[in-house]
Amino acid sequence: DAGVIQSPRHEVTEMGQEVTLRCKPISGHDYLFWYRQTMMRGLELLIYFNNNVPIDDSGMPEDRFSAKMPNASFSTLKIQPSEPRDSAVYFCASSYPLTGPARNEQFFGPGTRLTVL
């Protein structure tokens, strides 16, 4: 398996523009997570899905952010309109629950470095 795939790897855009980040989870994984990483705030969980259904979006900063998972192999994170403070590295991760005691390693994608000018 190629692992979690994210695109684009780098995105530079101007304030006010719409940005769409894409993620393909590892095949067979039931959970998908979107994180944002900045120096000031570390790794923040934005939203996560189970079987394509959003479970917890309490980390989404505001209405400018939205995420979808139309099928098991694809998810998008959209920012509209983008602002300079959205500049960060955005990671997608996927995992699957094993039976028995809880253990759920999350596998991270390479990330998308977003710069909003």
Q: Does 56 bind another protein (CB under 8 A)?
A: yes
User: Count H helices, E strands: the chain?
Assistant: 0, 11
Among 111, 112, 114, 116, binds another protein (CB under 8 A): 111
For residue 77, the SS3 value is strand
For another protein, the binding residues in 11-30 under the rule CB under 8 A are: none
Residue choice 82, 95, 114, 116 for contact with another protein (CB under 8 A): 95
Residue 46 in contact with residue 32, Cβ under 8 Å?
no
CA distances from 107 to 8, 61, 83 (A): 18, 23, 28
Residues that bind another protein in the complex, under the rule CB under 8 A: 31, 33, 42-43, 45, 48, 50, 55-56, 91, 95, 97, 101-106, 108-111
